A and B are shown apart, each in its own frame.
Chain A
Amino acid sequence: GAVVSQHPSWVICKSGTSVKIECRSLDFQATTMFWYRQFPKQSLMLMATSNEGSKATYEQGVEKDKFLINHASLTLSTLTVTSAHPEDSSFYICSAIGVAGGHQPQHFGDGTRLSIL
């Protein structure tokens, strides 16, 4: 149980393109999803917390107009990197918590490797 699917797993695109990443909870309903960014050989850095039906909460230093998050249903959250540039190249990972809330562990997707040329 507690499977989180992330798509696509790998994206290569030109500078200036907008890229959408999907995060789905396959076998449970997720009221809260999280988006992380991970640079090589570093830990996960929380970008934003996404609650179903409400606006995402962004961590300090993360541009909300650059990284658009939509959590329209209990099983899907999307992250759109708008007008992506080479410095946005990174490994993006989502996670989800089920409807029972905070005491449950986060379950992670397999990540999306984004490469901007």
Chain B
Amino acid sequence: GQQLNQSPQSMFIQEGEDVSMNCTSSSIFNTWLWYKQDPGEGPVLLIALYKAGELTSNGRLTAQFGITRKDSFLNISASIPSDVGIYFCAGQLAGGDMRFGAGTRLTVKP
């Protein structure tokens, strides 16, 4: 099946530092998405990427859709305590089905 490899699994950083995480797959996806999940809540969409090579920003977040359509990265600049949470990448297929990465657990120390 279409497996996504997300790394790193967890990160412990100081407030103000930049963060980078990525996802790779052996399969091609039509859309790459990045979600954030807080404890006890559902994932919230951060960024959606629709074209190979696309680079999109949302505030301090920047994500890119890899040129091969098999990978994506998410950067967070100048991290703040409320950035704490689990970040999931997801690859979406033509019919709308998604496959999720295992998540990156981010801890930000004030």
Bound form: Cα–Cα A94–B96 in Å: 14
- In the complex, chain B residues whose CB is within 8 Å of the CB of A6: 42
Contact B30 A103 (CB under 8 A): yes
Nearest to B1 among chain A residues (CB) is A60
- In the complex, chain A residues whose CB is within 8 Å of the CB of B42: 4, 6, 93, 95, 108-111
* B-contacting residues, A69-117, CB 8 Å: 91, 93, 95, 97, 101-111, 113
Residues of B near any A CB (own CB < 8 A)? 30-31, 33, 35, 40-45, 48, 50, 88, 90, 92-98, 100-103, 105
Partner of A102, one of B40, B41, B96: B96
Contact A102 B43 (CB under 8 A): no
Bound form: Cα–Cα A46–B100 in Å: 9
A54 CB within 8 Å of chain B: no
Count how many chain A residues have C-beta atoms less than 8 Å from C-beta atoms of the other chain: 26
Nearest to B88 among chain A residues (CB) is A43
B47 CB to nearest chain A CB (Å): 9
Contact B88 A102 (CB under 8 A): no
Partner of A113, one of B40, B92, B102: B40
Residues of A near any B CB (own CB < 8 A)? 4, 6, 32, 34, 41-44, 46, 49, 91, 93, 95, 97, 101-111, 113
Bound form: Cα–Cα A101–B30 in Å: 13
Contact B41 A44 (CB under 8 A): no
- In the complex, chain A residues whose CB is within 8 Å of the CB of B41: 110-111
Contact B96 A43 (CB under 8 A): no
Contact B100 A43 (CB under 8 A): yes
Bound form: Cα–Cα A97–B94 in Å: 12
B85 CB to nearest chain A CB (Å): 13
B25 CB to nearest chain A CB (Å): 14
Bound form: Cα–Cα A93–B90 in Å: 15
